[in-house]
Amino acid sequence: MSKESFKVKVGLAEMLKGGVIMDVTNLEQAKIAEDAGAVSVMALERIPSDIRKDGGVARMSNPHMIKEIQDNVSIPVMAKCRIGHFAEAQILEALEVDFIDESEVLTTADEHAHVDKHPFKVPFVCGARDLGEALRRINEGAALIRTKGEAGSGNIVEAVRHMKMITSQIIDLQDADLSKKAEEFRVPLDLVEEVAKNQKLTVPNFAAGGIATPADASLMMQLGAETVFVGSGIFKSQDPSERAHAIVKAVTHFKSAKDVLTASYDLKDAMKGILMSDIPEDEKFSNRGD
């Protein structure tokens, strides 16, 4: 795939900056999200907190459900495929979703390889916990990186950890032996050199995994996220529409505490969160894929 077509993929990620991407499980939710000012919706059958609760194998969503949402909203529609499941990705591309999330929230399909994303025309977003993981995904062709956080937990701690990790590892590149780093990260040297020079990933860097309140959104934006994904946080709360509006406002005005305060007024209870210590290691979504 040529450099030019990669720019077309990153171009859409650029358009999504300063916004909120919301998980939705049906058309009604998608419309609520769009009306509240979401820049995009992620169509999936079960939101992460329910996947966690239900157990079993989580796969790509039913194409019919994705199609219904595509046909009825005007904003970009994303959908998830399993890590390494390139056939699911091919189906999503044939369906013309606007972005594919190769997601740790679904059950891993290939424990040794992610999807080779270069041959696809549809851009991919992938999760990362640290710089090495982010660069491996970019090297495979991801046009957008998001923190993994811990999806469906309603707990921001992992997203904060991942965002700060990536930021500090980029700063550390300034006085590092870059060939050693490239070897450690298992990516080409020129990619590491470009990140070291620009002090920025080569694709946009968004936050995901555990965002539940306007304050969480503002926190992630202040830590350097360029947009936030909100999964279970909106439709597991008691006031999805109000909360969706509030988080959109908090992302735009994240630097103004007064505006985030106004956005936080009058909201009902947020989703109930889970402590990381209450999730067994082998049940953490963020441990899937490397």
Catalytic residues: 80
Which CB atom, from 16 or from 208, has the smaller least distance to another protein? 16
Closest distance between another protein and the C-beta of residue 12, in Å?
5
Scan for tokens 């994904």, then name that residue: 229
Q: Which is nearer to another protein, 34 or 104 (CB)?
A: 34
Long-range contact pairs involving 125-130 (C-beta distance under 8 Å, separation at least 24): 125/13, 125/78, 125/99, 125/100, 125/101, 125/206, 126/101, 126/102, 126/289, 127/103, 127/208, 127/209, 127/286, 127/289, 128/162, 128/166, 129/161, 129/162, 129/165, 129/286, 130/162, 130/165, 130/166, 130/169
Residue 221 Cβ vs another protein, minimum distance, rounded to whole Å: 12
Structure letter (DSSP) for residue 22: E
How many other CB atoms are there within 10 angstroms of residue 180's CB atom?
11
Q: CA 14, CA 180: separation in Å to the nearest integer?
A: 31
User: CB–CB of 242/262 below 8 Å?
Assistant: no
**Secondary structure letter of residue 115 according to DSSP:** -
**Angstrom distance (rounded) from CA 43 to CA 10:** 20
User: At its nearest, how many Å lie between another protein and the CB of residue 184?
Assistant: 30
Residues near another protein (CB under 8 A) are: 4-5, 7-9, 11-12, 14-19, 34-40, 70, 74-76, 93, 96-99, 121-123, 226, 248-249, 251-253, 256
Least separation in angstroms between residue 83's CB and another protein is: 21
**3-class DSSP assignment, residue 236:** coil
CB of residue 232 vs another protein: minimum separation in angstroms? 21
Nearer Cβ to another protein (204/233): 204
Nearer to another protein, 103 or 227 (CB): 227
Looking at the Cβ atoms of 156 and 244, the one nearer to another protein is: 244
Structure-token pair, residue 63: 């194409």
Burial of 190 (0-12, 13-18, 19+ CB in 10 A): exposed
